[in-house]
Amino acid sequence: MSSSTVDDLGGEVALAGPVRRIVSLVPSITEALATDVPERLVGATDWCTHPAGLAVTRVRGTKNPDLGALRSLQPDLVVANQEENRELDVRRLREAGVPVWVTAIETVPQALGSLTRLYDEALGLAAPPWLREARARWERPEPAARGRVAVPVWRDPWMVVGPRTYTGDLLRRLGWANAYDHGPDRYPTVDLAELDTPALDLVLLPDEPYAFTPEDGPEAFRRVPTRLVSGRLLTWYGPAMVEAYDVLSS
């Protein structure tokens, strides 16, 4: 039986019947689907690295998916994200008759709500255990302020997490104030001197998209403490949200 619903951007998603074949273009949502409905997941991007050993057809990257290979999988639904995927690719898939559900997530509550709707309205599933656990954790009262933090996502040039980002909202809900939570650029370029300053209490160095390591990153900072963290915990909404709260709140 066919049905119609709308995604996070208000785009109509017409489903010909039950969603049994899914291609995910969003690594964090790929992890969720592989955890809960692995039998339905038939395709994912090269960047979909969790869970380890995921055995599905790869359709290239998030920004340059192989649309021909994707269509050949005959998906009942493609899951995309406003930030991670190009509107052009979404439009081309829809013009080819492929239903696409686009998520739009810039805050923790948006992540919880978006994933709940995806599971309920598109997949016909109740909220999985990890989603219920994530909601229970992230709906707790926010802790006392812990200080000012910066999160580089690249070096040479140095780029940091700016305003209107999921990462920034996640950190705020853990008591951290993003020092770059202002301005028009969501990922501004900054001078190292702006980062290595006592005005900051901590610099978090994730392992993606730039792979900061003990030998590549901390040595640049002499005046502010640094902490290496999993980029997945800072940026992936899905099962990672549970671990993110448990690890980053300490």
Helices (H), the chain: 27-36, 67-72, 87-95, 108-117, 129-138, 166-172, 192-195, 231-235, 240-248
For residue 140, is pLDDT > 70? yes
Mean pLDDT confidence for 163-178: 96
Q: Are strands 189-190 and 158-160 parallel, antiparallel or unpaired?
A: antiparallel
3-state secondary structure of 240: helix
pLDDT at 3: 78
pLDDT tens across 21-68, in order? 999 999 999 999 999 999 999 999 999 999 999 999 999 999 999 999
pLDDT tens across 77-97, in order? 999 999 999 999 999 999 999
What is the DSSP annotation of 83-142? TTS-HHHHHHHHHTT--EEEE--SSHHHHHHHHHHIIIIIT--PPPHHHHHHHHHHTSPP
Handedness of CA 226, 231, 235, 241 (dihedral sign): negative
Average pLDDT, the chain: 96
For residue 1, is pLDDT > 80? no
Burial class (CB in 10 A: 0-12, 13-18, 19+), 28: buried
% of the chain residues with pLDDT over 70 = 99
Burial class (CB in 10 A: 0-12, 13-18, 19+), 157: exposed
pLDDT tens across 204-247, in order? 999 999 999 999 999 999 999 999 999 999 999 999 999 999 99
Secondary element (H or E) of residue 41: strand 41-44
Which domains does the chain possess? 3-137 (3.40.50.1980), 147-248 (3.40.50.1980)
pLDDT at 2: 65
State the Cα–Cα distance between residues 227 and 204, nearest whole angstrom.
5
